[in-house]
Structure 1
Amino acid sequence: MLLTLALVAGVAPLAAQDTRFTKEMRPGDRLELQNINGEIRVTQGTGRTAEIVVTKEVKAGDGSLVKAIMEEGTGYVRVCTVYLNRDPNRSTCRGENSGNWSSAGRVRFEVNMHYEVRAPAGVRLEVESVNGNVVLRGIDTPATVETVNGAIDLDGVGAHRLETVNGRITGRFTSSSWSGDLDLETVNGSIELSLPGDFSAQIAGETVNGSIDFGEFPVTMRGKWGPKTFTGTIGEGGRRIRIETVNGSVTLRRR
Protein backbone atom coordinates (compact mmCIF):
# COMPACT_ATOMS: atom_id res chain seq x y z
CA MET A 1 0.00 0.00 0.00
CA LEU A 2 2.55 2.45 -1.18
CA LEU A 3 1.75 6.14 -1.29
CA THR A 4 3.82 8.36 -3.52
CA LEU A 5 3.61 12.12 -3.69
CA ALA A 6 5.74 14.18 -6.01
CA LEU A 7 5.62 17.91 -6.63
CA VAL A 8 7.16 19.18 -9.82
CA ALA A 9 7.85 22.90 -9.91
CA GLY A 10 10.48 25.38 -10.98
CA VAL A 11 10.99 24.11 -14.52
CA ALA A 12 7.37 24.76 -15.43
CA PRO A 13 5.95 28.12 -16.45
CA LEU A 14 5.04 30.48 -13.64
CA ALA A 15 1.36 29.49 -13.66
CA ALA A 16 1.81 25.70 -13.95
CA GLN A 17 2.57 23.19 -11.19
CA ASP A 18 1.86 19.46 -11.14
CA THR A 19 1.14 17.33 -8.09
CA ARG A 20 1.13 13.57 -8.60
CA PHE A 21 -0.48 10.96 -6.36
CA THR A 22 -0.36 7.17 -6.79
CA LYS A 23 -2.09 4.45 -4.81
CA GLU A 24 -2.66 0.72 -5.29
CA MET A 25 -6.38 -0.07 -5.27
CA ARG A 26 -8.43 -3.26 -5.36
CA PRO A 27 -11.67 -3.94 -7.27
CA GLY A 28 -14.58 -2.52 -5.28
CA ASP A 29 -12.48 0.21 -3.66
CA ARG A 30 -13.77 3.78 -3.94
CA LEU A 31 -11.85 6.61 -5.59
CA GLU A 32 -13.19 10.04 -4.60
CA LEU A 33 -12.26 13.22 -6.48
CA GLN A 34 -13.34 16.62 -5.11
CA ASN A 35 -12.51 19.77 -7.04
CA ILE A 36 -13.57 23.43 -6.98
CA ASN A 37 -12.37 25.05 -10.22
CA GLY A 38 -11.03 23.07 -13.15
CA GLU A 39 -11.65 20.02 -15.30
CA ILE A 40 -11.62 16.43 -14.07
CA ARG A 41 -10.70 13.82 -16.69
CA VAL A 42 -10.73 10.10 -15.84
CA THR A 43 -9.61 7.17 -17.99
CA GLN A 44 -9.26 3.51 -17.09
CA GLY A 45 -5.73 2.31 -16.43
CA THR A 46 -4.18 -1.09 -17.11
CA GLY A 47 -2.80 -1.99 -13.68
CA ARG A 48 -3.89 -1.85 -10.04
CA THR A 49 -2.40 1.59 -9.34
CA ALA A 50 -4.53 4.72 -9.40
CA GLU A 51 -2.65 7.73 -10.71
CA ILE A 52 -3.90 11.27 -10.17
CA VAL A 53 -2.01 14.23 -11.62
CA VAL A 54 -3.32 17.64 -10.57
CA THR A 55 -2.13 20.60 -12.63
CA LYS A 56 -2.37 23.95 -10.89
CA GLU A 57 -3.10 26.85 -13.25
CA VAL A 58 -2.53 30.17 -11.49
CA LYS A 59 -4.33 32.92 -13.38
CA ALA A 60 -4.06 35.64 -10.74
CA GLY A 61 -3.04 36.19 -7.14
CA ASP A 62 -1.32 33.88 -4.71
CA GLY A 63 -1.37 30.33 -6.05
CA SER A 64 0.13 28.96 -2.85
CA LEU A 65 -3.29 29.39 -1.20
CA VAL A 66 -4.65 26.44 -3.20
CA LYS A 67 -3.38 22.86 -3.14
CA ALA A 68 -4.44 19.27 -3.73
CA ILE A 69 -4.15 16.69 -0.96
CA MET A 70 -4.74 12.96 -0.70
CA GLU A 71 -6.44 10.99 2.07
CA GLU A 72 -6.85 7.24 2.36
CA GLY A 73 -8.74 4.79 4.52
CA THR A 74 -10.14 1.29 4.45
CA GLY A 75 -11.48 0.75 0.95
CA TYR A 76 -11.16 4.32 -0.30
CA VAL A 77 -8.81 6.99 -1.61
CA ARG A 78 -9.79 10.66 -1.70
CA VAL A 79 -8.04 13.47 -3.57
CA CYS A 80 -9.39 16.98 -3.08
CA THR A 81 -8.67 20.64 -3.70
CA VAL A 82 -8.43 22.82 -0.58
CA TYR A 83 -8.09 26.54 0.07
CA LEU A 84 -5.55 27.66 2.66
CA ASN A 85 -6.57 31.30 3.14
CA ARG A 86 -8.18 30.56 6.52
CA ASP A 87 -5.84 27.82 7.68
CA PRO A 88 -2.42 27.72 5.99
CA ASN A 89 -1.66 24.42 7.77
CA ARG A 90 -4.77 22.62 6.59
CA SER A 91 -4.00 19.01 5.69
CA THR A 92 -7.42 17.33 5.36
CA CYS A 93 -10.31 17.51 2.92
CA ARG A 94 -12.69 18.32 5.76
CA GLY A 95 -13.14 22.01 6.34
CA GLU A 96 -14.54 25.10 4.70
CA ASN A 97 -13.27 26.43 1.39
CA SER A 98 -14.24 30.00 2.14
CA GLY A 99 -13.63 31.47 -1.30
CA ASN A 100 -11.05 33.64 -2.93
CA TRP A 101 -12.32 37.13 -2.07
CA SER A 102 -10.79 39.33 0.61
CA SER A 103 -12.80 41.42 3.05
CA ALA A 104 -11.94 44.45 0.91
CA GLY A 105 -13.61 42.89 -2.12
CA ARG A 106 -10.37 42.04 -3.92
CA VAL A 107 -9.60 38.68 -5.49
CA ARG A 108 -6.92 36.92 -3.44
CA PHE A 109 -6.30 34.27 -6.07
CA GLU A 110 -7.72 32.82 -9.26
CA VAL A 111 -6.58 29.23 -9.60
CA ASN A 112 -7.79 26.28 -11.65
CA MET A 113 -6.89 22.73 -10.62
CA HIS A 114 -7.10 20.26 -13.50
CA TYR A 115 -7.29 16.56 -12.60
CA GLU A 116 -5.93 13.89 -14.96
CA VAL A 117 -6.77 10.47 -13.51
CA ARG A 118 -6.05 6.86 -14.46
CA ALA A 119 -8.31 4.56 -12.44
CA PRO A 120 -7.79 0.79 -12.12
CA ALA A 121 -10.51 -1.49 -13.48
CA GLY A 122 -13.24 -2.32 -10.97
CA VAL A 123 -12.75 0.81 -8.84
CA ARG A 124 -15.90 2.80 -8.04
CA LEU A 125 -15.75 6.53 -8.79
CA GLU A 126 -17.27 9.41 -6.84
CA VAL A 127 -16.61 12.80 -8.45
CA GLU A 128 -17.63 16.22 -7.11
CA SER A 129 -16.88 19.56 -8.75
CA VAL A 130 -18.14 23.13 -8.56
CA ASN A 131 -16.86 24.86 -11.70
CA GLY A 132 -15.53 22.57 -14.39
CA ASN A 133 -16.30 19.83 -16.86
CA VAL A 134 -16.07 16.15 -15.96
CA VAL A 135 -14.92 13.69 -18.64
CA LEU A 136 -14.99 9.89 -18.20
CA ARG A 137 -13.37 7.62 -20.80
CA GLY A 138 -13.50 3.81 -20.88
CA ILE A 139 -14.88 3.49 -17.34
CA ASP A 140 -16.36 0.01 -16.70
CA THR A 141 -17.60 0.38 -13.12
CA PRO A 142 -20.29 2.50 -11.41
CA ALA A 143 -19.59 6.22 -11.18
CA THR A 144 -21.34 9.02 -9.33
CA VAL A 145 -20.66 12.48 -10.75
CA GLU A 146 -21.95 15.79 -9.39
CA THR A 147 -20.96 19.21 -10.72
CA VAL A 148 -22.58 22.64 -10.52
CA ASN A 149 -21.23 24.58 -13.50
CA GLY A 150 -19.90 22.19 -16.08
CA ALA A 151 -20.70 19.55 -18.67
CA ILE A 152 -20.43 15.80 -18.11
CA ASP A 153 -19.08 13.67 -20.96
CA LEU A 154 -19.08 9.87 -20.62
CA ASP A 155 -17.71 7.24 -22.99
CA GLY A 156 -17.74 3.64 -21.76
CA VAL A 157 -19.99 1.18 -19.94
CA GLY A 158 -21.45 0.73 -16.48
CA ALA A 159 -24.21 2.05 -14.25
CA HIS A 160 -23.85 5.71 -13.38
CA ARG A 161 -25.50 8.66 -11.65
CA LEU A 162 -24.63 11.91 -13.41
CA GLU A 163 -25.89 15.28 -12.16
CA THR A 164 -25.13 18.87 -13.10
CA VAL A 165 -26.93 22.19 -12.65
CA ASN A 166 -25.57 24.22 -15.56
CA GLY A 167 -24.22 21.94 -18.22
CA ARG A 168 -24.84 19.34 -20.87
CA ILE A 169 -24.70 15.56 -20.28
CA THR A 170 -23.44 13.36 -23.11
CA GLY A 171 -23.21 9.58 -22.80
CA ARG A 172 -21.81 7.13 -25.36
CA PHE A 173 -22.11 3.51 -24.27
CA THR A 174 -19.81 1.08 -26.02
CA SER A 175 -21.36 -2.16 -24.74
CA SER A 176 -24.58 -3.47 -23.21
CA SER A 177 -22.79 -6.06 -21.04
CA TRP A 178 -23.41 -4.34 -17.71
CA SER A 179 -26.17 -4.30 -15.12
CA GLY A 180 -27.54 -1.57 -12.91
CA ASP A 181 -29.42 1.65 -13.47
CA LEU A 182 -28.51 4.93 -15.15
CA ASP A 183 -29.64 8.30 -13.74
CA LEU A 184 -29.02 11.53 -15.66
CA GLU A 185 -30.14 14.91 -14.37
CA THR A 186 -29.44 18.53 -15.29
CA VAL A 187 -31.26 21.84 -14.83
CA ASN A 188 -29.86 23.99 -17.64
CA GLY A 189 -28.56 21.74 -20.37
CA SER A 190 -29.39 19.05 -22.88
CA ILE A 191 -28.98 15.29 -22.43
CA GLU A 192 -27.82 13.09 -25.30
CA LEU A 193 -27.32 9.31 -25.19
CA SER A 194 -25.85 6.96 -27.78
CA LEU A 195 -26.62 3.27 -27.11
CA PRO A 196 -25.48 -0.04 -28.66
CA GLY A 197 -27.87 -1.78 -31.03
CA ASP A 198 -28.48 -4.67 -28.61
CA PHE A 199 -29.12 -2.43 -25.61
CA SER A 200 -32.14 -3.19 -23.37
CA ALA A 201 -33.68 -0.94 -20.70
CA GLN A 202 -36.79 0.62 -19.25
CA ILE A 203 -36.59 4.35 -19.89
CA ALA A 204 -38.49 7.23 -18.28
CA GLY A 205 -37.98 10.93 -17.81
CA GLU A 206 -39.10 14.48 -18.37
CA THR A 207 -38.13 17.90 -19.66
CA VAL A 208 -39.87 21.23 -19.07
CA ASN A 209 -38.42 23.49 -21.77
CA GLY A 210 -36.91 21.42 -24.53
CA SER A 211 -37.51 19.02 -27.39
CA ILE A 212 -37.49 15.22 -27.25
CA ASP A 213 -36.01 13.08 -30.02
CA PHE A 214 -35.77 9.31 -29.56
CA GLY A 215 -35.32 8.41 -33.21
CA GLU A 216 -36.32 4.79 -33.80
CA PHE A 217 -36.68 3.89 -30.13
CA PRO A 218 -40.23 2.97 -28.97
CA VAL A 219 -40.80 5.80 -26.52
CA THR A 220 -44.17 7.37 -25.69
CA MET A 221 -44.27 11.10 -24.96
CA ARG A 222 -46.96 12.94 -23.03
CA GLY A 223 -47.36 16.70 -23.26
CA LYS A 224 -46.74 19.07 -26.13
CA TRP A 225 -46.34 22.52 -24.58
CA GLY A 226 -44.49 23.01 -21.31
CA PRO A 227 -43.56 19.92 -19.26
CA LYS A 228 -43.19 16.71 -21.25
CA THR A 229 -42.78 13.19 -19.87
CA PHE A 230 -41.77 10.02 -21.67
CA THR A 231 -41.63 6.27 -21.03
CA GLY A 232 -40.64 3.28 -23.09
CA THR A 233 -39.12 -0.18 -23.24
CA ILE A 234 -35.96 -0.69 -25.27
CA GLY A 235 -35.26 -4.27 -26.29
CA GLU A 236 -36.12 -6.62 -23.43
CA GLY A 237 -36.28 -3.91 -20.77
CA GLY A 238 -34.52 -4.69 -17.51
CA ARG A 239 -32.19 -1.97 -16.29
CA ARG A 240 -33.71 1.44 -15.64
CA ILE A 241 -32.72 4.73 -17.31
CA ARG A 242 -34.02 7.94 -15.75
CA ILE A 243 -33.53 11.23 -17.62
CA GLU A 244 -34.52 14.66 -16.28
CA THR A 245 -33.80 18.19 -17.47
CA VAL A 246 -35.58 21.51 -16.98
CA ASN A 247 -34.17 23.68 -19.74
CA GLY A 248 -32.79 21.44 -22.44
CA SER A 249 -33.53 18.84 -25.08
CA VAL A 250 -33.33 15.04 -24.75
CA THR A 251 -31.88 12.96 -27.59
CA LEU A 252 -31.41 9.18 -27.85
CA ARG A 253 -29.52 7.47 -30.67
CA ARG A 254 -28.20 4.03 -31.62
CA ARG A 255 -24.46 3.74 -32.12
Structure 2
Amino acid sequence: MYEGSVAEPQKLSFDDPVRALNVRLVNGTVNVVGTEEASARLEVSEIDGPPLIVTLKDGTLTVAYEDLPWKGFLKWLDRRGWHRSAVVSLAVPASANVEVGVVSAGAVVSGMRGRTEVRGVTGDTALVGVSGSVSAETVSGNLEAQAVTGDLRFQSVSGNLTVVEGAGSSVRADSVSGDMVIDLDAGGRPTDIRLNSVSGEVAIRLAHPTDTRVEANTTSGSVSTAFDDLRVTGQWGAKKITGTLGAGNGKLKATTVSGSIALLSRPARDNLDELDEKVL
Protein backbone atom coordinates (compact mmCIF):
# COMPACT_ATOMS: atom_id res chain seq x y z
CA MET A 1 0.00 0.00 0.00
CA TYR A 2 1.36 3.42 -0.97
CA GLU A 3 -0.28 6.84 -1.06
CA GLY A 4 1.37 10.19 -1.65
CA SER A 5 1.43 13.32 -3.79
CA VAL A 6 3.97 14.65 -6.28
CA ALA A 7 4.23 18.43 -6.48
CA GLU A 8 7.74 18.69 -7.98
CA PRO A 9 9.98 16.56 -10.25
CA GLN A 10 10.53 13.25 -8.54
CA LYS A 11 11.33 9.54 -9.07
CA LEU A 12 9.54 6.74 -7.24
CA SER A 13 10.01 2.96 -7.18
CA PHE A 14 7.40 0.47 -5.99
CA ASP A 15 8.40 -2.93 -4.59
CA ASP A 16 4.88 -4.38 -4.45
CA PRO A 17 3.62 -6.14 -7.62
CA VAL A 18 1.65 -4.02 -10.09
CA ARG A 19 -1.15 -5.68 -12.07
CA ALA A 20 -2.98 -2.57 -13.30
CA LEU A 21 -2.14 1.06 -14.10
CA ASN A 22 -4.47 4.05 -14.19
CA VAL A 23 -3.15 7.43 -15.37
CA ARG A 24 -5.21 10.61 -15.79
CA LEU A 25 -3.38 13.69 -17.02
CA VAL A 26 -4.14 17.24 -18.20
CA ASN A 27 -1.60 18.85 -20.57
CA GLY A 28 1.91 17.51 -20.88
CA THR A 29 2.87 13.93 -21.75
CA VAL A 30 2.55 10.41 -20.35
CA ASN A 31 4.85 7.56 -21.44
CA VAL A 32 4.12 3.97 -20.41
CA VAL A 33 6.63 1.20 -21.12
CA GLY A 34 6.14 -2.49 -20.43
CA THR A 35 8.96 -4.41 -18.69
CA GLU A 36 9.54 -7.98 -17.49
CA GLU A 37 9.80 -6.85 -13.87
CA ALA A 38 6.99 -7.32 -11.33
CA SER A 39 7.44 -3.87 -9.77
CA ALA A 40 7.04 -0.41 -11.29
CA ARG A 41 8.92 2.87 -11.57
CA LEU A 42 7.55 6.39 -11.89
CA GLU A 43 9.32 9.55 -12.96
CA VAL A 44 7.65 12.97 -12.98
CA SER A 45 10.17 15.14 -14.83
CA GLU A 46 8.01 18.26 -15.11
CA ILE A 47 4.96 19.44 -13.18
CA ASP A 48 3.09 22.73 -13.00
CA GLY A 49 -0.12 23.36 -11.06
CA PRO A 50 -1.81 21.05 -8.55
CA PRO A 51 0.03 17.91 -7.40
CA LEU A 52 -0.50 14.46 -8.82
CA ILE A 53 -1.91 11.90 -6.41
CA VAL A 54 -0.06 8.57 -6.51
CA THR A 55 -1.51 5.42 -4.94
CA LEU A 56 -0.69 1.71 -5.09
CA LYS A 57 -3.45 -0.42 -3.63
CA ASP A 58 -4.39 -4.05 -4.29
CA GLY A 59 -2.03 -4.21 -7.26
CA THR A 60 -3.40 -1.06 -8.96
CA LEU A 61 -1.05 1.89 -9.44
CA THR A 62 -2.87 5.19 -9.96
CA VAL A 63 -1.28 8.48 -11.04
CA ALA A 64 -3.92 11.17 -11.41
CA TYR A 65 -5.33 14.50 -10.36
CA GLU A 66 -7.70 14.28 -7.43
CA ASP A 67 -10.47 16.16 -9.30
CA LEU A 68 -10.24 14.13 -12.53
CA PRO A 69 -12.28 10.90 -12.23
CA TRP A 70 -12.12 8.08 -14.79
CA LYS A 71 -15.91 7.82 -14.91
CA GLY A 72 -17.27 10.53 -17.19
CA PHE A 73 -13.72 11.41 -18.23
CA LEU A 74 -14.56 12.59 -21.74
CA LYS A 75 -16.99 15.18 -20.33
CA TRP A 76 -14.28 16.79 -18.20
CA LEU A 77 -13.99 20.16 -19.95
CA ASP A 78 -13.79 22.50 -16.98
CA ARG A 79 -11.35 25.17 -18.18
CA ARG A 80 -10.45 26.12 -14.62
CA GLY A 81 -8.63 22.82 -14.40
CA TRP A 82 -6.54 23.37 -17.53
CA HIS A 83 -3.94 25.49 -15.74
CA ARG A 84 -1.79 22.46 -15.05
CA SER A 85 0.74 20.30 -16.83
CA ALA A 86 2.98 17.30 -16.14
CA VAL A 87 5.42 15.03 -17.93
CA VAL A 88 5.11 11.51 -16.53
CA SER A 89 7.03 8.33 -17.43
CA LEU A 90 6.17 4.88 -16.09
CA ALA A 91 7.79 1.45 -16.39
CA VAL A 92 5.31 -1.26 -15.40
CA PRO A 93 5.00 -5.05 -15.89
CA ALA A 94 4.13 -5.78 -19.53
CA SER A 95 1.29 -8.05 -18.39
CA ALA A 96 -0.51 -5.25 -16.52
CA ASN A 97 -3.78 -3.74 -17.69
CA VAL A 98 -3.44 -0.06 -18.58
CA GLU A 99 -5.96 2.78 -18.46
CA VAL A 100 -4.78 6.17 -19.73
CA GLY A 101 -6.89 9.32 -19.83
CA VAL A 102 -5.52 12.54 -21.34
CA VAL A 103 -6.91 16.05 -21.75
CA SER A 104 -4.77 18.12 -24.14
CA ALA A 105 -1.89 15.76 -23.39
CA GLY A 106 0.08 13.30 -25.50
CA ALA A 107 0.30 9.62 -24.57
CA VAL A 108 2.67 6.85 -25.68
CA VAL A 109 2.11 3.23 -24.63
CA SER A 110 4.64 0.59 -25.73
CA GLY A 111 5.43 -3.07 -25.11
CA MET A 112 2.26 -3.93 -23.16
CA ARG A 113 0.65 -7.40 -23.29
CA GLY A 114 -2.30 -6.68 -21.02
CA ARG A 115 -5.49 -4.83 -21.94
CA THR A 116 -5.00 -1.16 -22.88
CA GLU A 117 -7.80 1.39 -22.62
CA VAL A 118 -7.33 5.00 -23.72
CA ARG A 119 -9.63 7.98 -23.33
CA GLY A 120 -8.66 11.34 -24.77
CA VAL A 121 -10.39 14.67 -25.14
CA THR A 122 -7.90 16.50 -27.37
CA GLY A 123 -4.65 14.63 -26.80
CA ASP A 124 -3.00 12.35 -29.39
CA THR A 125 -2.04 8.78 -28.50
CA ALA A 126 0.62 6.44 -29.94
CA LEU A 127 0.67 2.69 -29.35
CA VAL A 128 3.85 0.79 -30.22
CA GLY A 129 4.31 -2.99 -30.03
CA VAL A 130 1.18 -3.55 -27.95
CA SER A 131 -0.02 -7.17 -28.09
CA GLY A 132 -3.01 -7.01 -25.75
CA SER A 133 -6.49 -5.84 -26.74
CA VAL A 134 -6.90 -2.07 -27.23
CA SER A 135 -9.95 0.12 -26.69
CA ALA A 136 -9.60 3.83 -27.50
CA GLU A 137 -12.20 6.57 -27.27
CA THR A 138 -11.47 10.20 -28.12
CA VAL A 139 -13.27 13.44 -28.90
CA SER A 140 -10.75 14.98 -31.30
CA GLY A 141 -7.53 13.19 -30.38
CA ASN A 142 -5.75 11.07 -32.99
CA LEU A 143 -4.61 7.48 -32.47
CA GLU A 144 -1.58 5.94 -34.17
CA ALA A 145 -0.99 2.23 -33.64
CA GLN A 146 2.29 0.73 -34.85
CA ALA A 147 3.03 -3.03 -34.81
CA VAL A 148 -0.07 -3.67 -32.69
CA THR A 149 -1.04 -7.36 -32.67
CA GLY A 150 -4.09 -7.35 -30.38
CA ASP A 151 -7.72 -6.59 -31.23
CA LEU A 152 -8.28 -2.85 -31.75
CA ARG A 153 -11.44 -0.84 -31.02
CA PHE A 154 -11.57 2.90 -31.80
CA GLN A 155 -14.33 5.46 -31.42
CA SER A 156 -14.01 9.20 -32.05
CA VAL A 157 -15.84 12.33 -33.14
CA SER A 158 -13.12 13.91 -35.29
CA GLY A 159 -9.92 12.06 -34.37
CA ASN A 160 -7.94 10.18 -37.03
CA LEU A 161 -6.94 6.52 -36.79
CA THR A 162 -3.68 5.27 -38.30
CA VAL A 163 -2.63 1.62 -38.08
CA VAL A 164 0.91 0.89 -39.33
CA GLU A 165 2.20 -2.68 -39.73
CA GLY A 166 -0.81 -3.97 -37.83
CA ALA A 167 -0.87 -7.73 -37.21
CA GLY A 168 -4.10 -8.06 -35.23
CA SER A 169 -7.04 -10.06 -36.50
CA SER A 170 -9.73 -7.54 -35.55
CA VAL A 171 -10.08 -3.78 -36.13
CA ARG A 172 -13.33 -1.94 -35.44
CA ALA A 173 -13.57 1.83 -35.72
CA ASP A 174 -16.31 4.46 -35.70
CA SER A 175 -15.79 8.16 -36.42
CA VAL A 176 -17.86 11.13 -37.52
CA SER A 177 -15.27 13.12 -39.48
CA GLY A 178 -11.94 11.45 -38.68
CA ASP A 179 -9.90 9.73 -41.39
CA MET A 180 -8.86 6.08 -41.13
CA VAL A 181 -5.70 4.58 -42.60
CA ILE A 182 -5.32 0.85 -41.92
CA ASP A 183 -2.21 -1.14 -42.92
CA LEU A 184 -2.82 -4.74 -41.86
CA ASP A 185 -1.04 -8.07 -42.26
CA ALA A 186 -2.40 -10.76 -39.94
CA GLY A 187 0.03 -13.40 -41.17
CA GLY A 188 -2.58 -15.43 -43.04
CA ARG A 189 -5.14 -15.48 -40.21
CA PRO A 190 -8.74 -14.45 -41.03
CA THR A 191 -9.34 -10.80 -40.19
CA ASP A 192 -12.45 -8.94 -39.04
CA ILE A 193 -12.31 -5.27 -40.12
CA ARG A 194 -15.35 -3.04 -39.61
CA LEU A 195 -15.02 0.70 -40.23
CA ASN A 196 -17.74 3.35 -40.12
CA SER A 197 -17.40 7.07 -40.86
CA VAL A 198 -19.70 9.91 -41.85
CA SER A 199 -17.36 12.24 -43.74
CA GLY A 200 -13.90 10.85 -43.04
CA GLU A 201 -11.79 9.16 -45.72
CA VAL A 202 -10.93 5.46 -45.40
CA ALA A 203 -7.84 3.75 -46.83
CA ILE A 204 -7.13 0.06 -46.15
CA ARG A 205 -4.00 -1.80 -47.24
CA LEU A 206 -4.33 -5.57 -47.12
CA ALA A 207 -1.71 -8.29 -47.38
CA HIS A 208 -1.27 -10.02 -50.73
CA PRO A 209 -2.52 -12.66 -50.97
CA THR A 210 -5.38 -12.07 -48.57
CA ASP A 211 -8.39 -14.09 -47.45
CA THR A 212 -11.55 -12.06 -46.84
CA ARG A 213 -15.02 -11.09 -47.97
CA VAL A 214 -15.27 -7.41 -48.89
CA GLU A 215 -18.20 -5.03 -48.62
CA ALA A 216 -17.34 -1.33 -48.85
CA ASN A 217 -19.87 1.36 -49.69
CA THR A 218 -20.21 5.13 -49.70
CA THR A 219 -23.26 7.29 -50.30
CA SER A 220 -21.59 10.13 -52.18
CA GLY A 221 -17.81 9.59 -51.96
CA SER A 222 -15.45 7.90 -54.40
CA VAL A 223 -14.15 4.31 -54.31
CA SER A 224 -11.06 2.57 -55.69
CA THR A 225 -9.49 -0.87 -55.37
CA ALA A 226 -6.18 -2.49 -56.30
CA PHE A 227 -7.75 -5.99 -56.37
CA ASP A 228 -8.98 -7.27 -59.74
CA ASP A 229 -11.21 -9.87 -58.07
CA LEU A 230 -13.41 -7.19 -56.50
CA ARG A 231 -16.35 -5.53 -58.23
CA VAL A 232 -17.05 -1.79 -58.23
CA THR A 233 -20.68 -0.86 -58.83
CA GLY A 234 -22.52 2.46 -59.02
CA GLN A 235 -21.48 5.47 -61.10
CA TRP A 236 -23.64 8.23 -59.65
CA GLY A 237 -24.35 8.62 -55.99
CA ALA A 238 -23.90 5.44 -53.97
CA LYS A 239 -20.93 3.23 -54.88
CA LYS A 240 -19.88 -0.21 -53.66
CA ILE A 241 -16.87 -2.50 -53.68
CA THR A 242 -17.84 -6.13 -53.18
CA GLY A 243 -16.34 -9.56 -53.69
CA THR A 244 -14.25 -12.33 -52.16
CA LEU A 245 -10.49 -12.55 -51.88
CA GLY A 246 -9.00 -15.99 -51.33
CA ALA A 247 -11.29 -18.38 -49.48
CA GLY A 248 -13.24 -15.52 -47.94
CA ASN A 249 -12.80 -16.60 -44.31
CA GLY A 250 -12.28 -13.06 -43.06
CA LYS A 251 -14.55 -10.03 -43.29
CA LEU A 252 -13.95 -6.43 -44.33
CA LYS A 253 -16.82 -3.98 -44.09
CA ALA A 254 -16.34 -0.23 -44.57
CA THR A 255 -19.10 2.34 -44.72
CA THR A 256 -19.01 6.12 -45.23
CA VAL A 257 -21.58 8.76 -46.14
CA SER A 258 -19.47 11.31 -48.02
CA GLY A 259 -15.93 10.06 -47.49
CA SER A 260 -13.88 8.16 -50.07
CA ILE A 261 -12.82 4.51 -49.69
CA ALA A 262 -9.60 3.03 -51.13
CA LEU A 263 -8.49 -0.61 -50.91
CA LEU A 264 -4.76 -1.04 -51.45
CA SER A 265 -2.60 -4.14 -51.81
CA ARG A 266 0.37 -4.73 -49.52
CA PRO A 267 3.30 -6.34 -51.42
CA ALA A 268 3.89 -10.04 -50.82
CA ARG A 269 6.34 -10.83 -47.98
CA ASP A 270 8.82 -12.33 -50.46
CA ASN A 271 8.87 -9.06 -52.37
CA LEU A 272 9.39 -7.10 -49.17
CA ASP A 273 12.33 -9.31 -48.21
CA GLU A 274 13.90 -8.81 -51.63
CA LEU A 275 13.42 -5.07 -51.30
CA ASP A 276 15.07 -5.07 -47.85
CA GLU A 277 18.08 -6.93 -49.26
CA LYS A 278 18.45 -4.41 -52.08
CA VAL A 279 18.23 -1.50 -49.64
CA LEU A 280 20.85 -3.10 -47.37
Same fold per superposition (TM over 0.5)? yes
TM-score (norm 1): 0.66
> 247, 252, 256: which is aligned to 1:241?
252
Q: 1:23 to 1:171 in 2, by over 3 A?
A: farther
Which amino acid in the other structure matches residue 235 of structure 1?
A: G
Is the Cα contact below 8 Å between 2:9 and 2:43 reproduced in 1?
no
Q: Please, which runs of 5 or more residues in structure 2 have no aligned partner? A: 85-102, 114-129, 267-280
2:238 alignment partner in structure 1: 227
CA contact (8 A) 2:134 2:153 kept: yes
Counterparts of 2:105 and 2:173 in 1: how far apart (Å)? Answer: 21
Choose from 142, 153, 160 the match for 1:144. Answer: 153
Rounded Cα–Cα distance in structure 1 between residues aligned with 2:79 and 2:180: 31
Q: Distance in 2 between matches of 1:247 and 1:70?
A: 47
Name whichever structure is richer in helix by fraction. Answer: 2
Match of 1:154 among 147, 160, 163: 163
Kindly indicate whether residue 173 of structure 2 is the aligned counterpart of residue 196 of structure 1. Answer: no
Q: How does 1:47-58 map to 2 (within 5 A)?
A: 47=36
Q: Which of 107, 120, 125 is the aligned partner of 1:115?
A: 107
Counterparts in 2 of 1:180 and 1:228: CA distance versus 1, 3 Å: same
Structure 1: which 5+ runs fail to align? Answer: 12-17, 26-30
- Out of 56, 72, 78, the position equivalent to 1:100 is 78
| Deviation of the 1:190 alpha carbon | 0.9
Aligned residues: 226
8 Å contact from structure 1 (residues 42, 137) kept in 2: no
Deviations 1:6-32 (A, max 9, x none): 969549xxxxxx99999547xxxxx99
Identity across matched positions, percent: 21
The equivalent of 1:124 in structure 2 is: 133
Q: CA RMSD in A?
A: 4.7
| Alpha-carbon distance in 2 for matches of 1:189, 1:72 | 42
Local SS of the residue matching 1:93:
coil
CA distance in 2 between partners of 1:195 and 1:5 (Å): 48
What is the rounded CA distance, in whole Å, between the counterparts of 1:34 and 1:146 in structure 2? 19
- Is the 1:179–1:239 Cα contact (8 Å) retained in structure 2? yes
Question: Judging changes above 3 Å, is the alpha-carbon distance between structure 1 residues 212 and 154 closer, same or farther for their aligned structure 2 residues?
Answer: same
How far apart, in 1, do the equivalents of 2:44 and 2:235 lie?
47
SS of residue matched to 1:140: coil
Distance 1:125 1:20, change over 3 A: farther
* Equivalent residue letter for 2:198: V
3-state DSSP of counterpart to 2:183 = strand
Higher relative contact order structure (alpha carbons within 8 Å, sequence separation ≥ 6): 1
Q: What is the aligned counterpart of 1:165 among 154, 162, 176?
A: 176
What is the CA–CA distance in structure 2 between the aligned matches of 1:212 and 1:234, rounded to whole Å?
Answer: 17
